[in-house]
Structure 1
Amino acid sequence: MTTTYSHAFLKAMPKADLHLHLDGSLRPQGLIEMAKRSGVELPSYTVDGLYDLVFKESYQNLGEYLNGFQYTCAVLRDMENLEQAAYELAQDNLAEGVIYIEARFAPQLMMDPARGIDFDTVMHATNKGLARAKHEYNSQTAVREGHKPPFDYGIINCAMRMFGKKGFSPYYTQLFQMLRDHEPKQVIKTAAMEMIRASVRLRDEEGLPIVGLDIAGQEMGYPAHDFKEVYEYAHQNFLLKTVHAGEAYGAESIFEALTQCYADRLGHGYSLFSPEMIQDPKISDKEDYARRLASFIADRRIAVEVCITSNLQTNPDIGDVRNHNFKHMFNHRLATVICTDNRLVSRTTVTQEYELALSAVDVPLKRLKDMVAYGFKKNFFAGDYIEKRAYAKKALEYFDTVAAEHGIK
Structure 2
Amino acid sequence: MPFYSADFIKEMPKSDLHLHLDGSLRLESLIDMAQRSKLILPSNTVEGMKELVFKDRYNNLGEYLHGFQYTCGVLRDLENLEQAAYELALDNQAEGVNYIEVRFAPQLLMDPAIGIDFDRIMHTVNNGLKRAMHEYNAHDQVQHGHRPPFAYGIINCAMRMFSGKGFSPYYTNLFQLMRDFEPMQVIKLAAMELVRASVRLRDEAGIPIVALDLAGQESGFPAHNFKEVYEYAHQHFLLKTLHAGEAYGAESVFEAITECYADRIGHGYSMFIPEMIIDPAILDKQKYIKELASYIADKRIAIEVCLTSNLQTNPAITDIKQHKFKDMLENRIATVICTDNRLVSNTTVSREYQLAVDNFDIPLKRLKDMVAYGFKKSFFPGSYVEKREYAKQCLNYFDVVSRKYGFIN
Q: TM-score under structure 1 normalisation?
A: 0.99
Q: How many residues align?
A: 408
Q: In the alignment, is residue 198 of structure 1 matched against residue 184 of structure 2?
A: no
- Matching residue of 2:143: 144
Task: Name 2:316's counterpart in structure 1.
Answer: 317
- Kindly state the Cα deviation for residue 359 of structure 1 after the two structures are TM-superposed: 2.0
1:304 and 2:303 equivalent?
Answer: yes
1:81 aligns with 2:48: no
- Tell me how large the CA RMSD over aligned residues is: 0.6
Q: How does 1:312-351 map to 2 (within 5 A)?
A: 312-351=311-350
Structure 1 CA distance for aligned equivalents of residues 104 and 267 of structure 2 = 16
Alpha-carbon separation, structure 1, partners of 2:407 and 2:201:
44
Q: C-alpha deviations, 1:227-264, integer Å up to 9, x for none?
A: 00000000000000000000011100000000000000
1:279 deviates by 1.1
Cα deviation digits, residues 375-394 of structure 1 (max 9, x gap): 00000000001100000000
1:295 aligns with 2:294: yes
Spell out, residue by residue over 1:184-227, the C-alpha distance to the aligned partner (whole angstroms, 9 max, x if none).
00000010000000000000001000000000001111000000
Partner of 1:229: 228
Partner in structure 2 of residue 360 of structure 1: 359
The equivalent residue for 1:278 is: 277
1:158 partner amino acid: C
* Post-superposition offset of 1:277: 1.1
Q: Distance in 1 between matches of 2:145 and 2:174?
A: 49
Q: Is the 8 A contact 2:249 2:272 kept in 1?
A: no
In the alignment, which residue of structure 2 is the partner of 1:11? 10
Answer yes or no: is the 8 Å Cα contact 1:65–1:345 preserved in 2: yes
Aligned match of 1:62: 61
Aligned position for 1:378? 377
1:22 and 1:86 in contact (8 A); partners too: yes
Q: Distance in 1 between matches of 2:258 and 2:198?
A: 23
Offset, 1:294: 0.3
- Unaligned stretches of 5+ residues in structure 2: none
Q: Which residue type is aligned with residue 293 of structure 2?
A: A
Structure 1 Cα separation of the partners of residues 341 and 368 of structure 2? 24
SS in 1 for 2:237: coil
Cα separation, 2, equivalents of 1:333 and 1:272: 15
Q: What pairs up with 1:42-57 in 2 under 5 angstroms?
A: 42-57=41-56
Matched residues in 1 for 2:96 and 2:337: separation?
14
Residue 62 of structure 2 aligns with an amino acid whose one-letter code is G
CA distance in 2, matches of 1:225, 1:66: 24
Distance 1:25 1:111 in 2: 19
2:124 partner letter: A
Task: Tell me the residue number matched to 1:36.
Answer: 35
2: CA distance between counterparts of 1:375 and 1:118?
Answer: 32
* Structure 2 residue 184 is the aligned partner of structure 1 residue 185: yes
Counterpart residue number, 2:131: 132
> In structure 1, what residue type is equivalent to 2:256?
A
Cα distance in 2 for residues equivalent to 1:406 and 1:365: 12
Contact 2:253 2:268 (8 Å CA) reproduced: yes
Q: Deviations over 1:357-403 (max 9, x none)?
A: 11221111111000000000000000001100000000000000011
307-316 vs 269-278, greater mean Cα deviation: 269-278
Q: Distance between the aligned counterparts of 1:360 and 1:179, measured in 2?
A: 51
Q: Percent identity?
A: 71
Secondary structure of 1:3's counterpart equals: coil
**Which residue in the other structure is 2:251 paired with?**
252
1:149-172 deviations in whole A, cap 9, x for unaligned?
Answer: 000000000000001211110000
Residue type of the partner of 1:309?
T
Cα deviation, residue 267, structure 1: 0.2
CA distance in 2, matches of 1:20, 1:111: 20
CA contact (8 A) 1:111 1:169 kept: yes
One-letter code aligned to 1:205: E
* 8 Å Cα contact 1:327-1:360 kept in structure 2: no
In 1: Cα distance, 2:44 partner to 2:282 partner: 50
SS of 2:18 mapped into structure 1: strand
CA distance in 2, matches of 1:341, 1:280: 29
Amino acid of the structure 1 residue aligned with 2:215: A
TM-score by structure 2 length?
0.99
Could you say what secondary structure the match of 1:280 adopts? coil
Q: Is the partner of 2:36 in helix, strand or coil?
A: helix
For residue 190 of structure 2, what is the amino acid of its counterpart? A
